Amino acid sequence: MDFLKSAINAEISKKRKALDTASERAGSKKYVSRAELERLREEEYRREEEERLAKEKEKKEKQRQEQERLKEQEKQQAKLDSKKESVNEEVEIETFNISREEVVRRLRAKGQPIRLFGETDKQCKIRLRALELMEERSEDQGQRNDFMRKLEEMEEGMKLEVLKQKAGVVDGKKEKKSKKADLIVAPIELKLLQSDRDKLFMQIYAYLVTLEPDILARVAEITHHMQNRRYRDAQDSYLQLSIGNAPWPIGVTMVGIHERSAREKIFSSQVAHVLNDETSRKWIQSVKRLMTFAQSKYPPYTLSQIA
């Protein structure tokens, strides 16, 4: 009620103001025509519209000036940051003060060229420092290949043994012959398997995961059909494995807006395994690539089995 009352009062005051303005302009006239009132109202509307446009223009101009000021501040801040980074790099390069011989030795140890075309000594130091930082980050964050590291350790150990033999630390022709026979008969990988089996399979244990029984059954079914060159049946089994045969396959979200069956009734044919995670999608699609390659390499016996 208060809102309606205020709206009515505002409209009444507006009408009174229009009549007062018309009477002032009419002068000694006893009446004011409707056309005169309409003309006065249009003039008032134009005046208000011009004021509104002027205010909007002024507001936009202020916003533009503010944006330009902020951009200028950002540019100055970026220049200051770049100067700080360059100063820090120069300080780091100065602290990384090693001789040219040491730089050459480290670059050769990493398998890198000791000097690129047109490269100065300072640039060589910068390149060496960048390579060392990249190696530190990869060791801290990246996946480590324990197998290759163990092979390198064994090769270094074998080199040390050879040096000891040359220095006369290990004596006896029989021991030398036995070690030489071991190196000839057993390669490095086999010796690694016999000496340190746990470290060798640590990476495999960490990265590989066994398949679920229902998924393994589908993969075995696909393999059986491919061996018999029934690629159409293998395609059907692949669809059962990847997206299932449920109207709304259960994927990442599990429970949606549709009514689903009980959890104990969910089997492999009702689960969209390709939607579970990125790892499942990759290896399931790799199965499809193998099917396509096998069909091109070993065509089916009948045209009806072409997928």
Domain boundary among 207, 222, 238: 207
pLDDT, one tens digit per residue, over 169-218 is 545 555 655 655 555 555 555 555 555 566 556 666 666 777 778 888 88
CA 210, 215, 220 angle in degrees (round to 5)? 95
Give domain status of residue 26, yes or no: yes
User: Looking at the structure, do residues 225 and 299 belong to the same domain, yes or no?
Assistant: yes
Give domain status of residue 92, yes or no: no
Cα 280 from chain centre: 17
The pLDDT confidence band at residue 289, using thresholds 50, 70 and 90, is: very high
The residue among 135 and 162 whose pLDDT is bigger is 135
The pLDDT confidence band at residue 76, using thresholds 50, 70 and 90, is: confident
The pLDDT confidence band at residue 92, using thresholds 50, 70 and 90, is: low
User: Looking at the structure, do residues 197 and 275 belong to the same domain, yes or no?
Assistant: no
Domain count, the chain: 4
Give the structural domain span for 124: 100-141
This prediction's pTM: 0.33
Q: Which residues contact 71 (CB under 8 A, 6 or more apart)?
A: none
